[in-house]
Structure 1
Amino acid sequence: MAPAWTPCRSGGVGDVWQAERVPPARRAPSRASARPSGGLSWEEVGLAPVVLVAGAEGVLADRAVDRLVSLARAADAAVEVTRPDAAEYTTGMLGVVTSPSLFAEDRVVVVDGLERAGDELLADALAYLDAPPADAVLVLRHGGGQRGKKLLDAIRASGAPVVACDVVKSDADKSAFVVAELRRAGRRADAQAVRALVDAVGSDLRELASACAQLVADTSGLIGPDVVERYYGGRIEASGFRVADAAVAGQAGQAVALLRHAMATGVDPVPIVAALALKLRTMAKVAAVRGRGAGALRELGLAPWQTDRAVADLRRWTPEGLASAFAAVAQADAEVKGEGRDPQFAVERAVLRVAQAAGL
């Protein structure tokens, strides 16, 4: 059970904590925000004496911290914000930065890099959990790993809010992130535009957020694939996913041309092979269950556009062709990761073999 936090004085952050102990009904978070660990999304977290921001997705962690600081400043414009670094912590520092000041301002203390914390910080933070002051917000940011596990477990057991900032890896979650970014800005994009944007800049969530912000600032109305093409067309054409799409379609010439352009612009062979492998795995999953109906396809956990695209791609593929393509990609994967002398040659050969296998 969470401690029964009580406000220390009217108008401060303590009153906000008391008001937020019974959360209002809210819409379900987007797929990119909902986390299997059971934590809150950065959009949901509210003020509390102790808040844990856990996970390696930096853009989500930054937003959680910024939101908490903004909420504290909305409650008390004179709130004092302190940001000690976990690696530079010395014994007793936590008590100093959270103790009442001469003018009794509320305080927000953001400790970054808890995964790098020494024993002094971990011990002080554990002791702090027993009786946190009501007019301070302590935000502990942990980037992942096992360091400080005892403290993390204690924070969760105390009932303190935990913001889950897990790395967003799948294309479906990245697409959901784009949709949520645009929705917050009062904008929408059609499904093709969302996929095109993920294909172009989806390797890094911070870059994807920046791309959304640029499209919102520079365009109006519904964002379509033509708009994304205008801003990020070169990157889309050079992406591993476009190479994979052309290869799976049996378009050997186009696939090789896209591949050479991608590598000429600095794209590493490894993610291109990974894109080929992902494309083939998706097709194999869909091929294995498509005869069992729509329900079985939904159980795969793929986005609808991924399933539709795989079904369309499979019309030109045989089981023998898929087996041959998998063998070519497996060989390329080993060679681009150190077993071959020429990674670029290895990936180009794999692209050609996949394109040829489409006609087997």
Structure 2
Amino acid sequence: MTAPLHLLLGDNDFLIERAVSQLTAEIGREGSEPVPVTRVRAGEVTAAELSELLSPSLFGDARVIVVEAAAEAGKEPAAVITSALHDIPDGITLVVAHTGGGRTKAMVGVLQKAGAQVVDCATPRWPSDRADFVRREFQATGVRVSRDVVELMLANVGSDLRELAAAVSQLVADTGGKVTEAAVQTYYSGRAEVKGFEIADKAVTGDRSGALEALAWAMHHGVPRVILADALAEAVHGIARVRGLGSINPQAAASELGMPPSRVKKLQSQATAWDTESIGAAAVVVAKLNGDVKGQAADADYSLEHAVSTVAGLRPRRGRG
């Protein structure tokens, strides 16, 4: 029997949508008819409307009520949600999507104490988090893959969870579950984000002209600016994280960072030329770029060129340790 209360905790639209779809399908399998799903935004629905939605039906028919953006809820809708938690009518499944922050941050704890089934819907923050996501996607299909396969998936497919999940499904289906590095290369070699990582690698190794030339090619061919910015940010953050571990065996660092040893070894090689001050400055540059390519700058192309050029120029000629 499906639990009547669910908390989708996080901000990733794909994970939230998938969780709702999976839950609805599960409830549908328990009955004989399709389950109606009603969606409301917590910041827009009134307390009266929400109360009506959460009121029992005459026959206790199965219904799914999804309260989206609960972090934005007004005082009255938030009160209706929390007051209904311990007496959800038969047939109703209440699903609350909450980022974990916002003005109703305390609601998360209330939902958890009320016994809500929690689904992690947070956007992976670090490369190691995305690697874990890919690994879990394969495991969900009963397939185990190597670290190198996971790294290739991230490098070739990108960081978008929807695309990564689709790629995992396709690879498992088309290879009969025998997913190898060669299979990933065959299906996804040459994808746009590879060019993004090439640009990033050139920038963090101080090859300004090479990085700008590769960037011009990528922009001319329509590679999304967000992908290029993410690649540069991951290269900078990777170097910072590796430097933070000091002199450590790549194999041991791989476990600590959640990266394949080959990736750690490459980052360690790049990190030798950087010092604390310069990598800190580069981190500030990529943080600003993240906002610029998402609409904060009037000219995203200029922001990208400036960031790539700046990061390349920040790399010291000699590592000072």
Contact 2:50 2:80 in 1 (8 A): yes
Q: Distance in 2 between matches of 1:357 and 1:269?
A: 28
- 1:193 aligned residue: 149
CA contact (8 A) 1:335 1:346 kept: no
Distance 2:153 2:197 in 1: 12
SS in 2 for 1:111: strand
Any stretches of 5+ residues in structure 2 without a counterpart?
Answer: none
Alpha-carbon distance in 2 for matches of 1:237, 1:264: 14
Picking from 292, 304, 307, the partner of 2:264 is 307
Q: In structure 2, the residue corresponding to 1:85 is in which secondary structure?
A: strand
Deviation of 1:210 after TM superposition, in Å, equals 2.3
Find the counterpart in structure 2 of residue 138 from structure 1.
94
SS at match of 2:85: helix
Q: 2:123 aligns with which of 164, 167, 173?
A: 167
Q: Look up the match of 1:76.
A: 31
Q: Percent identity of the aligned residues?
A: 30
- 2:242 alignment counterpart: 286
Counterpart residue number, 1:264:
220
In 2, Cα distance between the equivalents of 1:240 and 1:254?
13
Residues 348 and 295 of structure 1: CA distance in aligned 2, closer, same or farther (over 3 Å)? closer
Residue from 64, 76, 84 that aligns with 1:108: 64
Matched residue of 1:69: which SS? helix
Instruction: State how far apart, in whole Å, the 2-side matches of 1:230 and 1:293 are.
Output: 31
- Are 1:128 and 2:84 counterparts? yes
Q: Contact 1:54 / 1:141 at 8 angstroms: preserved in 2?
A: yes
SS in 2 for 1:83: strand
Q: Which amino acid aligns with 2:168?
A: C
Q: Give yes or no for the alignment of 1:117 onto 2:77.
A: no
What is residue 231 of structure 1 aligned with on the other side?
187
Using the alignment, how far apart are the partners of 1:238 and 1:209 within structure 2? 18
Distance 1:181 1:274 in 2: 22
Name the SS for the 1:77 alignment partner: coil
Distance 1:159 1:239, change over 3 A: same
Q: What is residue 152 of structure 1 aligned with on the other side?
A: 108
Counterparts in 2 of 1:85 and 1:334: CA distance versus 1, 3 Å? closer
Match of 1:55 among 10, 28, 33: 10
Q: Distance in 2 between matches of 1:332 and 1:146?
A: 25
Structure 1 residue 89 corresponds to structure 2 residue 45? yes
Contact 2:285 2:307 in 1 (8 A): no
Identify the range of structure 1 (262-271 vs 288-297) with the bigger mean alpha-carbon deviation.
288-297
Deviations 1:9-39 (A, max 9, x none): xxxxxxx2xxxxxxxxxxxxxxxxxxxxxxx
Identify the range of structure 1 (122-131 vs 75-84) with the bigger mean alpha-carbon deviation: 75-84
Contact 2:281 2:314 in 1 (8 A): no
Matched letter for residue 24 of structure 2 = V
Q: Kindly provide the amino acid, as one letter, of the partner of residue 73 in structure 1.
A: G
Is structure 2 residue 309 aligned with structure 1 residue 349?
Answer: yes
Compared with structure 1, are the counterparts of its residues 144 and 178 closer, same or farther at alpha carbon in structure 2 (3 Å cutoff)?
A: same
Mapped to 2, the partners of 1:351 and 1:300 lie a distance apart of 26
Q: Which amino acid aligns with 1:346?
A: H
Equivalent pairs counted in the alignment come to: 312
The Cα of 1:174 is off from its aligned counterpart by 0.9
Deviation of 1:83 after TM superposition, in Å, equals 0.7
What SS class does the counterpart of residue 309 from structure 2 fall into?
Answer: helix
Q: Deviations over 1:133-187 (max 9, x none)?
A: 2443211222454233354332223233232322212111111211221232344
Select between 339-348 and 51-60 the one with higher mean Cα deviation.
Answer: 339-348
> 1:238·1:258 contact (CA, 8 Å) conserved in 2?
no
